[in-house]
Amino acid sequence: MTTGQIHSIESFGTVDGPGIRMVVFTKGCPMRCQYCHNPDTWSSGGGTSMTVSEILSQYEASRPFYRGGGITVTGGEPLLQMEFVTELFEEARRRDIHTCLDTSGVTFRDADTAYLEQLDRLLASTCLVMLDLKQIDDEKHRLLTGRPNRNILQFAEYLDQKQIPVWIRHVVVPGITDNEKDLYHLGRFIGTLKYVK
């Protein structure tokens, strides 16, 4: 059975998808966002190795508490551990547990067939994606995160093509991500996506 490298588990998540949720924080992230609130998840090392069964046992022990909620996997960047998240979500859906993927989409590679096959398998058991669009301007995105945003915007469009429900997250930081022109262009881009909730 695949194991995941887990930073921590929050038992009372109220802003990470609908309802009250168990929030699983994975280890590892390729971004280096200037305002990151949990940089201790950046490294893929450390953390706790956990199986799907161990995580779901924790969930099941408090299942009545999560009525109207489910499981959210975040990070770090959970798509760095896509095989593990896929197995977790598949088993969660078998148990009728709502699944939410909280991601930046930074790992998206539209020319990698094997990657897309694995991603499609994950999305088949994903009820909701919370997509963090950090900055619409590519140059500013590079300065903010250390990475370009072209593949992230492609990921948003890919989710839309697959008709996956999406919640957009955008952190507004004065002087960094609150430029009126950038916010206008971000809004125009989001407006092209039909499955944003």
Q: Is residue 197 part of a domain?
A: no
Q: Is residue 86 part of a domain?
A: yes
- Containing domain of residue 67, as a range? 3-190
This prediction has a pTM of 0.95
pLDDT at 22 (0 to 100): 97
Q: Is residue 97 part of a domain?
A: yes
Q: Are strands 70-74 and 48-51 parallel, antiparallel or unpaired?
A: unpaired
Q: Is residue 195 part of a domain?
A: no
Q: Is residue 179 part of a domain?
A: yes
Q: Is residue 39 part of a domain?
A: yes
Q: Show Cβ contacts of residue 166 under 8 Å, excluding neighbours closer than 6 positions.
A: 128, 129, 130, 131, 156, 159, 160, 193, 195, 196, 197
pLDDT at 37 (0 to 100): 85
pLDDT at 44 (0 to 100): 87
pLDDT at 56 (0 to 100): 97
pLDDT at 67 (0 to 100): 84
Positions of the chain with pLDDT under 70? none
What is the CATH number for 96? 3.20.20.70
Number of domains in the chain: 1
pLDDT tens by residue, 99-144: 999 999 999 999 999 999 999 999 999 999 999 999 999 999 999 9
